[in-house]
């Protein structure tokens, strides 16, 4: 990567070099840019997506993160929770901008023509930080309370066999459909068929967690009623009771309570949240707004460097 980047910037001049993930891409981009004469050095921007911040910690990674910060012109955090983590690790707050990645809510993640056909709950990749086991346990609790909810789990991963065994142990295997890996081209159709999109995120034992969780605004764009655990990254997207519902992470009873509320006790709630959720996601994360946000960051860096172009 270092060799290719050295060759690229040697034969072409760039105003902005934008790397994604601080390690290794951001560190390499910053060091390579420093090899250029100051008059020909691109401004370096690095987006931290979350996994690179939450999972990579300890003395060595903290040192490399500080080195990266010192060699680049701007760090971008995809959420307020990612920025807080960076600041807690002695990165200057004024060196970090918040600019989430985007979702094509205008053209791609759109509601179905008929909301009445919706019937499933939906989750994605099967790894520890996604917390799918919490959803399965909540489904079993609902069954014991007399509410039988069909659940569709889309995605694959190292925990799939364990989760299938857990569904059988809980006596809900007939209620749960495991779709396996789903191509991106079919994701929209799954969201559009789901009445609820459940995202029981958790902090993994390694410390890893989602930086923002773009699956939430994707679902909101399709007018799913989104229910998610109340981690910091969730709060950047969901206003509890206004654009979605939240519950205490790793608490299947709390999730079951929320599901019963929206499925059984107050079935009008999903309709209210779907419209508000889509509008909120569009204002926050539609690609047009995200592009404009990034362009402002690029422009500010060029102005700070005394450049009139952008």
- pLDDT value for 24: 96
Mean pLDDT, range 24-29, rounded to an integer: 97
Distance CA 200, CA 230 (A): 9
Query: pLDDT tens digits for 131-156?
Result: 999 999 999 999 999 999 899 999 89
Which pLDDT band holds residue 230 (cuts at 50, 70, 90)?
very high
- pLDDT value for 90: 94
Mean pLDDT, range 60-81, rounded to an integer: 96
Q: Which residue has the tokens 């679902």?
A: 219
- pLDDT value for 116: 62
Contact 150, 118 (CB under 8 A): no
Contact 217, 237 (CB under 8 A): yes
Which pLDDT band holds residue 123 (cuts at 50, 70, 90)?
low
- pLDDT value for 121: 67
First vs last C-alpha separation in the chain: 26
- pLDDT value for 75: 98
What are the structure tokens assigned to 153, written together?
């789990």
- pLDDT value for 308: 47
Contact 193, 120 (CB under 8 A): yes
Distance CA 215, CA 101 (A): 11
Q: What percent of the chain has pLDDT over 70?
A: 95
Mean pLDDT, range 232-254, rounded to an integer: 92
- pLDDT value for 305: 67
Q: Is the pLDDT of residue 170 over 80?
A: yes
What are the structure tokens assigned to 274, written together?
């779907």
- pLDDT value for 122: 66
Which alpha helices (DSSP H) does the chain contain, by range? 2-11, 27-34, 51-54, 59-71, 80-88, 132-144, 160-169, 184-193, 215-221, 232-235, 252-260, 269-285, 287-304
Backbone angles phi, psi at 305, to 5 degrees: -90, 5
Q: Is the pLDDT of residue 125 over 80?
A: no
Entry pTM: 0.85
- In Å, how far from its chain's centre is CA 76? 15
Backbone angles phi, psi at 215, to 5 degrees: -60, -30
CA atoms within 13 A on the CB side of 220: 33
Distance CA 5, CA 57 (A): 26
Mean pLDDT, range 50-63, rounded to an integer: 92
Query: pLDDT tens digits for 181-229?
Result: 888 888 899 999 988 999 999 988 887 887 777 899 999 999 999 999 9
Q: Is the pLDDT of residue 263 over 90?
A: no
- Asked if the peptide bond before residue 24 counts as cis, ω within 30 degrees of 0, the response is yes
CA atoms within 13 A on the CB side of 36: 24
- In Å, how far from its chain's centre is CA 18? 19
- pLDDT value for 310: 41
Q: Is the pLDDT of residue 177 over 50?
A: yes
Structure-model confidence comparison of residues 310 and 47, the more confident one: 47
Q: What value does the CA radius of gyration of the chain take, rounded to a whole number of Å?
A: 21
Q: What percent of the chain has pLDDT over 90?
A: 69
Mean predicted lDDT score pLDDT of the chain: 90
Q: Is the pLDDT of residue 309 over 60?
A: no
SS (H, E, C) 107-151: CCCCCCCCHHHCCEEEECCCCHHHCHHHHHHHHHHHHHCCCCCCE
- pLDDT value for 117: 61
Q: Residue 17: enclosing H or E segment and its boundaries?
A: strand 16-20
What 3-state class would DSSP assign to 225? strand
- pLDDT value for 298: 95
CA atoms within 13 A on the CB side of 250: 7
């Amino acid at each position: 990567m270092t060799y290719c980047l050295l060759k690229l910037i040697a034969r072409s001049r760039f105003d902005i070099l934008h790397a994604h993930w601080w390690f290794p891409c951001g560190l390499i981009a910053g060091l390579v840019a420093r090899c250029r004469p100051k008059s020909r050095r691109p401004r370096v921007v690095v987006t931290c997506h979350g996994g690179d911040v939450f999972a990579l910690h300890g003395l060595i990674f903290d040192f490399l993160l500080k080195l990266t910060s010192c060699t680049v012109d701007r760090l971008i955090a995809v959420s307020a929770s990612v920025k807080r983590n960076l600041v807690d690790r002695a990165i200057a707050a004024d060196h970090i901008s918040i600019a989430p990645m985007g979702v094509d809510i205008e053209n791609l993640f759109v509601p179905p023509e008929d909301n009445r056909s919706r019937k499933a709950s939906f989750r994605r990749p099967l790894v520890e930080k996604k917390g799918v086991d919490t959803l399965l346990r909540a489904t079993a609790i609902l069954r014991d309370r007399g509410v039988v909810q069909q659940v569709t789990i889309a995605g694959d991963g190292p925990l799939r066999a364990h989760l299938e065994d857990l569904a059988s142990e809980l006596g809900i295997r007939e209620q749960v459909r495991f779709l396996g890996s789903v191509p991106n081209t079919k994701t929209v159709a799954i969201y559009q068929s789901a009445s609820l999109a459940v995202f029981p995120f958790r902090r993994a034992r390694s410390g890893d967690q989602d930086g923002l969780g773009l699956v939430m605004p994707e679902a909101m764009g399709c007018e799913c009623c989104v229910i998610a655990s109340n981690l910091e990254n969730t709060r950047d997207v969901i206003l509890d009771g206004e654009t979605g519902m939240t519950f205490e992470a790793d608490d299947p009873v709390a999730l079951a309570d929320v599901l019963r509320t929206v499925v059984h006790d107050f079935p009008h709630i999903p309709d209210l949240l779907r419209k508000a959720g889509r509008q909120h996601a569009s204002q926050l994360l539609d690609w047009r707004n995200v592009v404009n946000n990034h362009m402002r960051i690029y422009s500010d860096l060029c102005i700070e460097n005394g450049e009139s172009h952008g």
